[in-house]
Structure 1
Amino acid sequence: MPTFPFRRLSALALLFLAIPTAFSDENDSPVADGDSKPKNVVTIDGVFESKKTHEITAGFEQISSLTIKRILDHGTPVKKGTSIVWFETKEIDEQITKAERDLELAEIAFNDAEFAYEQFLEQQKLDRQAAELARAEARQAYDNFVNVDREQQIRSAEKQLERSKQSLEYAQEELNQLQQMYEEDDLTEESEEIVLKRAQRAVESAEFNLEIAEVRTQRTIEQTIPVKQKQEEATLARAELAYAKKKHDLKSARDKREIERRKQKADFEKQQAEFKKLQAERRALVLTSPTEGLAYHGRITRGKISDKPSTLRKDSKVSASQILMTIVQPQPLRIVATVTEQQRAQLQTGMKGTAIANAFPDQKVPVTLRSIAAVPYANNKIECVVTIQAKTGDTDIVPGMTCKVELEPTKGDDSKKSKTEKSQTEKGNKKAGKK
């Protein structure tokens, strides 16, 4: 396996660096006692992560529970379109059979509802016509009374009074004539008395009838007819109200029925769509890879695979939304690391260094710290991303492997730091001289 070259120090240089001098300050020394690394090198743990990953789920909506019939082993190389997970079909077929029967019943119920709705509309027409007819009859009755009946009742009462007066006049005239006639003829006194008595009674009866007619006529004109007019007006008003209410009730009932009909139609169409979707999901019970790569079981979080080995195997029960596999492409890679807040204080973007895979300690990969998260993703855990400056395609490094990343500050930072340390040293010497 290729290794990345590094500069070897000569034995003489190492010996020279190891000799302590009386002129060197302890703070200016780049090497710590017993350590071959510079003091300011920061070592963090990282994980090799693929830049391109694809999470695989069943993604079904109608099928909630699935049983694995077969699944590729963890880490299997796959190509685009390769079958990676197979599911059992028995329970799904039973679900489809039940859904098909439910859909048939729903279709019958929907057709019955459509027929009932047509009958409802026809009944609505008849009810509206009946309401319009009742209102028209009430209007006609009112118009008849105002335009004809009221005047006729007044004239009839007046005519009845007039006839009563005429009857009295006739009876009185007949009585007067009989009295005059009986005074001139030779009829017997007994016959005169009988005829005159009858005529007198007729006059009295006519007078009584006239009295009754006068009272009846007065009542008819002053009481009966006004009351009748009010009754007709009230009847018409009630008819108008009844018509308005019937019209409102019919519209309200029609609107409600229309809403129920649309809802039932939407439910039926939704059931049809769900059944078609269920059939489509049945045809998709074999999951395939959307791209070329390595098939890892489960979810990969910040480049890390699960700490526990995968339990996905034949007869495993899984949900439709569960992440079953993650297809990772071996190249290109980057390193995702988690640092503490104390380590964060020593880091800044642009720092360069070396990544050493724990599985291949002889392979050193040049890297650059690309980004550091602004906020922790968990308590005292901050994510940073390290880019790899060399190709790793010829190595055995794969996504999910762990590594140690050693980062050194940039030259500008070293210069700035050395100036700060030198200034602090000078200040310390001055204070020592004063003392």
Structure 2
Amino acid sequence: MKCHSAPVPVQDRGVALRRRGGRFSTCTTGVWRCFVLFGVVCRDAIGPVADCLESSGSVSRRATGCCGGRRDSYRAGAMRPRSQGARDAMLRLSVLWSMFGLSWLIAAAPVAAQEEDEAAPPTHTIEPEPFKVEVSLSGTFEAEQMSEVILRPEVWSSFVVEKAVPQGAQVKQGDPILWFETEKIDDAITSAEFALELGALNLQQAELELAGLEASVPLDLKEAERRKQAAEDDYAYFVEIGAKRSREAIENSLKASEYSLEYALEELNQLEQMYKEDDLTEETEEIILKRARRDAEQTEFFTEGARLRYERQIKEELPREEERQKDALERATIAYARAKETLPRSLEEKRIELEKLRHARQEAEENFEQLQADRELMVVEAPADGIVYYGHCDRGSWPVSATIAKQLRTGGSVSANQVVMTIVTPGPAFVRVNIPEAQLRHVQPGATGVVVPTAFPDVRLPAVVKDVESIPISDGTFDGRIEFEMDRGDVQLVPGMNCTVRITVVNKPDALTAPKTAVFTEELDDSQKYVYVAVEEGEPEKRSVAVGETSGEEVEILSGLEAGEKILLKKPE
């Protein structure tokens, strides 16, 4: 599964160097031979040069022999050391020159090696080896059976925490796990009870009023109708008879007054004539005449009044009476019409009001009963046996656990219809994973693998993919359910713990693989793959291959190559 780069054999280096024109042998080796040859020449030339120097010393000594004495002896003795020193100097020069050539050869060796590497590109030998491809997914242990604790009150909304059992507590079904303050709801229940009693009294009063209206409305309608009919009769009588009779009565009254005046005047006239002819005393005559005259004056006054009343009644009172009769008729007609409309309506309104009171009483009764039921929620009991978790489980995780923990402190407030706790059956049942869309083809129901708990990295639990959602739960992510075998009692796993799920995609003991960098893609068809196969003579062979899965830097070769073949790790230049 690793990329292997084999060293180039010595014989292959020679082949490579010959292919490159023998630059190392013609350059490096040739120069080294020149240096060695020069050293040998210098060594062979040292003797003749020294002899020559010695001979020239002898001649010199003979030429200067006439000088004699110590000076000649000194020069003759000093020349021998000088020839020996020249021989030594030349020997040292040859050695130094040879060492310089050897140093240059050593320094040039890496350059030659680099030229050799450039000349022979790296290769990889195709050999059968184990090949395994796994898909690694992050997962969370989740319980199969969980019972949520949700506050579902009827009417109450204020839940102030008094105390709560801690997370991780082991509880039994029916055990108290959460307590709320009860003072406010008790006051509300008392008020609801008073409202219920008051509503009953109002309902009773409304029923009595409705019964009275139902009895009085028909009577009131009949009374209004009678008044209307009486007004119509009165007006008709006045128009047809009353006005005429009133006019005649006025006229007769006036005539009676006039007649009385006429009678009085006639009587006074007769008395005056009679008194002139009879023998009555003057005093008696005066009394009688005086009385008659006064009666005539009084009658005349009454007659004038009757005439004035006649004119007033004819011109004013009779027309006014007619208007009054007409107005009374109109008022009676309007009153009857109003009574016909309003009295039944008032009766219906009273009936509706009664129904409303009945409904209000029913609501009051329900509110009282609901408050009593909500009062029972002030002490929450465990719905099942298990472990207490705060909040709700969302695909194996507990996203609001910390928030709920703050709310469940003494004095904290919890909202209605909120999952405050979850009772979890001990022991995880399956693993919930998020499957990236790119790995969906590998993670299908039935695929096998292992589960590695984060808390126990050395534990391997056999696993199988049970279910995969057909639609994504978020952009590019699918939900998966992994079942596993729990056969180790010493490993304590609880829901909410994390793990890694490794799904085996390919597991072959003797697959042919190649480095990904050695497999190339056709530019015009990215589905076509090819490699360059190294050959002993000639250019590398371009060959098409079929590839399978990829693991790290290795890719499986399905066809196109045989074991033992060598491929180039880079494209040839």
Q: TM bucket by the smaller chain?
A: 0.5 to 0.7
Structure 2 counterpart of 1:298, one-letter code: G
The answer to whether 1:85 aligns with 2:171 is: no
Q: 2:187 maps to which residue?
A: 98
Q: Which residue of 2 aligns with 1:54?
A: 147
> Following TM superposition, by how much is the alpha carbon of 1:230 offset from its aligned partner in structure 2, in angstroms?
1.2
One-letter code of the match for 2:256?
A: R
SS in 2 for 1:296: strand
- Asked if 1 retains the 8 angstrom alpha-carbon contact of 2:135 and 2:504, the reply is yes
1:346-371 Cα deviation digits (max 9, x unpaired)? 53586446352324542241226612
Q: Is the contact made by 2:141 and 2:431 (CA closer than 8 Å) also made in structure 1? A: yes
What letter matches 1:234 in structure 2?
Answer: D
Which structure 2 residues correspond to residues 84-233 of structure 1 after superposition, within 5 A? 84-88=175-179, 91-92=181-182, 94-95=183-184, 98-99=187-188, 101-114=190-203, 116-117=205-206, 120=209, 136=226, 140=230, 143-144=233-234, 146-147=236-237, 149-171=242-264, 173-174=266-267, 185=277, 210=303, 212-233=305-326
- Please report the RMSD computed on the Cα atoms of aligned residues, expressed in angstroms: 5.4
Q: Secondary structure at 1:157's aligned position in 2?
A: helix
Tell me: CA distance 1:237–1:327, structure 2 relative to 1, closer, same or farther (3 Å): same
The number of aligned residues is 385
CA offset at residue 219 of structure 1? 3.7
Counterpart position of 1:4: none
SS of 2:528's partner is: helix
The one-character-per-residue Cα deviations of 1:1-47 (angstroms, maximum 9, x if unpaired) are: xxxxxxxxxxxxx6xx866799xx99x99x9xxx9764xx6533222
- The answer on whether the counterparts of 1:84 and 1:286 sit within 8 Å (CA) in structure 2 is no
| Residue number among 420, 423, 428 corresponding to 2:528 in the alignment | 423
Deviation per CA, 1:338-394, whole angstroms, max 9, x where unpaired? 46xxx4355358644635232454224122661265463xxxx65522133x55354
Give the counterpart of 2:452 among 352, 357, 374: 357
Structure-2 separation of matches of 1:201 and 1:209: 12
Seen in structure 2, the aligned counterparts of structure 1 residues 20 and 233 have a Cα distance that, compared at 3 Å, is: farther
* Structure with larger Rg: 2
CA contact (8 A) 1:57 1:320 kept: no
Equivalent pair of 2:179/2:379 in contact (CA under 8 Å):
no
Alignment correspondent of 1:5: none
Structure 1 residue 160: Cα displacement: 0.9
Q: 1:128 deviation in Å?
A: 9.0
Residue 206 of structure 1 and its aligned partner are, at CA, apart by 5.6
1:366 paired residue among 458, 464, 471: 464
CA 1:363/1:242 → structure 2, altered by over 3 Å: closer, same or farther?
same
Task: Identify the match of residue 496 of structure 2 among 400, 412, 416.
Answer: 400
SS at match of 1:83: coil
Tell me if 1:273 matches 2:366: yes
Q: Name the structure 2 match of 1:71.
A: 165
Correspondence for 1:415 = none
Pick aligned residue for 1:323 from 419, 424, 436: 419
Distance in 2 separating the partners of 1:143 and 1:239 = 11
Q: For structure 1, which runs of at least 5 residues remain unmatched after alignment?
A: 1-13, 411-417
State how far apart, in whole Å, the 1-side matches of 2:278 and 2:254 are: 38
Q: What are the ranges of 5 or more consecutive residues in structure 2 without an aligned counterpart?
A: 7-119, 507-520, 532-541, 544-570
Letter aligned with residue 366 of structure 1: V
Amino acid at match of 1:85: P
Task: Using CA pairs under 8 Å that are at least 6 residues apart, name the structure with larger relative contact order, 1 or 2.
Answer: 1
Instruction: Please report how far the alpha carbon of residue 304 of structure 1 lies from its aligned counterpart in structure 2 after TM superposition.
Output: 0.4
Residue 229 to residue 128, structure 1, CA distance change in 2 (3 Å): farther
CA separation of 1:315/1:255 partners in 2, compared to 1, >3 Å: closer, same or farther? same
Counterpart CA distance in 1 for 2:144 and 2:323 is 92
Distance 1:263 1:317, change over 3 A: farther
Q: Which residue of 2 aligns with 1:297?
A: 390
